[in-house]
Amino acid sequence: MKLNFPCENHKISLDFGFDASDDLSLKGFYELFDNKHPGVDFDLPEGIDIFAAFEGIVVRVENHIGMGNTIGIRNGNILSLYAHLSKIEVNLGEIINSGQLIGESGNTGKATTSPHLHFELRDLRYKVLKDMVFKPEFEMEINNFQDQFNYKINNSNNPKNLLFLSKMYFGSEEFAEKIKIVNNLKINFDEILPQDVDIKIPNFN
Ligand SMILES: [Zn+2]
């Protein structure tokens, strides 16, 4: 799967992995990532078109405290995040083509000092946020892409059932049946899955 630029401006203003420990203007923004910038930033005025960097299904549409108006698009084990948007043009569970218009740049959320796009990639096979993020290499194939991956059930924060997993990885409850079939499970959609069991997460297509 190829990674395209999410905007026409290809100039990265803050690179992946930038250590913000000593930068007072960025203080506390990336605490969950050992103070390292978990994505790349593109300096953009408000209202600039943002495009999907790859094809996928919309799994997050939210107003996040730090990232502001944020879209998450997943394909296989790869999640792309588009943050600080002024406008969102997609809905949860919608399948998006690569290059499709998804929103407009902005300055929403607490972890921003001026309008820009924060673009982030996560490999969902990892358990901890700081291990999930990796450096985007634009106009290249994503090497760690896998069409299907395993999620080990962790019920400590929220008890997980098939409906929950469907919402988490597909943006709606419509894929609960598909997850059930792929894993050959004989349980109800609302039944809590056993702790530490590996569940295969199929792709949306
Ligand atoms: Zn950023």
pLDDT in single tens digits along all 205 residues of the chain = 999 999 999 999 999 999 998 888 887 899 899 999 999 999 999 999 999 999 999 999 999 999 999 999 999 999 999 999 999 999 999 999 999 999 999 999 999 999 999 999 999 999 999 999 999 999 999 999 999 999 999 999 899 999 999 999 999 999 999 999 999 999 999 999 999 999 999 999 9
2 to 8, 11, 91: CA distances (angstroms): 17, 19, 23
Residue 129, H or E segment: helix 129-132
- Put the strands of the sheet holding 49-51 in their side by side order: 49-51, 101-104, 87-88
Ligand 1 center to residue 148 CA distance, Å? 28
Q: What is the 13 CA–ligand 1 centroid distance (Å)?
A: 9
- Among 52, 42, 48, 51, smallest CA distance to 117 is for 42
Tell me the two tokens of residue 44.
């953009």
Using the mean position of ligand 1's atoms as its centre, give its distance from the Cα of residue 147 in Å: 27
